[in-house]
């Protein structure tokens, strides 16, 4: 004969079911990743961002298990790949590894960008940062920032500065430098860093602000002369080279950086697990020294710190772009 459960028995059954469900959920969460994770790089293979993504992917496989695949989706200054990540499911299986461009620069340069940089991503961490270096060809008559500034003020708009393209980090660093010093020069945009470097080495252009990892080999080979670094402190790779601040140029501290984000709505447990694994990977003894040797500084900050940094950088580059009347064309 059927007997109804007492209130106490029903409460115990409900409690046991809740515990069981919680256990299953925890097991599912602990199992992440259960399928391949795609690291979207919104730039072509071979650059600094691609290298950081591949380094992280290999080490995350060791720390979390599973498979991490780098997928290059270049185009439109990184905004095509960023848009793809924005539209992906927020389940931890699609991440973006990108330089600062799509996060804080491209939205000011390109109309109708397919994402809101401040709202459409769960920011995980800024992985690394590196200063740019103001360099001139080895045969240049400029031996210091003071020499270069004197020439810029004597002949406004005459000296040429190479960059890897309109709106690139090296271009905007030059624009900020000119704005802070009240000078002007001829901007020569190239289609990528390689052709810009070729003409810089050949003395076709007068100067450039380049990522430190790109110019260190040429500086060490005495093919380029470093006049200053754009960081707030001297680089261990160039201990004799002053910062721009030390050279008398203030308000022009600049770092290039690479960061990791996910589509908005990432489950908190997955977010925490990914953040911890990424920071651990960056500081792994098999990874950190190699990155430092290339001029990168390990950041590995919190999502909250990344958010504050993005907001500050977003406002800064917006102002530089507006004052300089810069476009992506």
Q: What is the pLDDT of residue 17?
A: 46
Q: CB-based burial of residue 314 (10 Å sphere; 0-12 exposed, 13-18 middle, 19+ buried)?
A: middle
- pLDDT tens-digit readout, 40-79: 999 989 888 999 999 999 999 999 999 999 999 998 889 9
Q: Is the pLDDT of residue 163 over 50?
A: yes
Q: Average of pLDDT values for 97-116?
A: 94
Report whether pLDDT(83) > 50.
yes
What structural domains does the chain harbor? 32-129+256-324 (3.40.190.150), 131-229 (3.40.190.10)
Lowest mean pLDDT among 4-8, 160-164, 303-307: 4-8
| Strands (DSSP E) found in 176-306 | 186-189, 207-211, 224-229, 255-263, 297-298
> 289-313 pLDDT, tens per residue?
999 999 999 999 999 999 999 999 9
Torsion sign over Cα 92, 98, 103, 106: negative
Task: For residues 208-234, give the mean pLDDT.
Answer: 96
> Is residue 319 pLDDT above 70, yes or no?
yes
pTM for the model? 0.86
Q: 115-137 pLDDT, tens per residue?
A: 999 999 999 999 999 999 999 99
Alpha carbons 61 and 265: distance in angstroms, whole number: 23
């Amino acid at each position: 004969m059927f007997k109804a459960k007492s209130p106490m028995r029903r409460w115990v059954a409900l409690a046991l079911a809740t515990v069981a469900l919680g256990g299953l959920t925890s097991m599912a969460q602990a199992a992440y990743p259960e399928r391949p994770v795609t690291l979207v790089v919104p730039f072509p293979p071979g650059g600094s961002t691609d290298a950081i993504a591949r380094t992280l992917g290999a080490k995350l496989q060791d720390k979390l298990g599973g498979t991490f695949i780098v997928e290059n989706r270049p185009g439109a200054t990184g905004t095509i790949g960023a848009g793809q990540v924005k539209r992906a499911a927020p389940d931890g299986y699609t991440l973006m590894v990108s330089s600062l461009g799509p996060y804080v620069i491209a939205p000011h340069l390109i109309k109708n960008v397919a994402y809101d940089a401040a709202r459409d991503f769960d920011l995980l961490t800024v992985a690394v940062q590196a200063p740019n270096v103001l360099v001139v060809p080895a045969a240049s008559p400029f031996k210091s920032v003071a020499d270069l500034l004197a020439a810029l003020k004597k002949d406004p708009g005459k000296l040429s500065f190479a960059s890897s393209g309109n709106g690139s980090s090296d271009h905007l660093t030059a624009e900020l430098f000119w704005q802070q010093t009240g000078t002007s020069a001829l901007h020569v945009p190239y289609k990528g860093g390689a052709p810009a470097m070729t003409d810089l080495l050949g003395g076709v252009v007068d100067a450039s602000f380049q990522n430190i990892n790109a110019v260190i080999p040429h500086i060490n080979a005495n093919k380029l002369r470093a006049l200053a670094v754009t960081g707030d402190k001297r680089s261990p790779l160039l201990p004799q080279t002053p910062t721009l601040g030390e050279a008398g140029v203030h308000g022009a501290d600049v770092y290039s950086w690479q960061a990791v984000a996910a589509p908005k709505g990432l489950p908190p447990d997955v977010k925490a697990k990914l953040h911890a694994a990424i920071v651990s990977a960056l500081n792994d003894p098999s990874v950190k020294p190699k990155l430092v040797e290339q001029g990168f500084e390990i950041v590995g900050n919190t999502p909250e710190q990344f958010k504050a940094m993005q907001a500050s950088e977003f406002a800064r580059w917006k102002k530089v772009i507006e004052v300089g009347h810069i476009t992506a064309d």
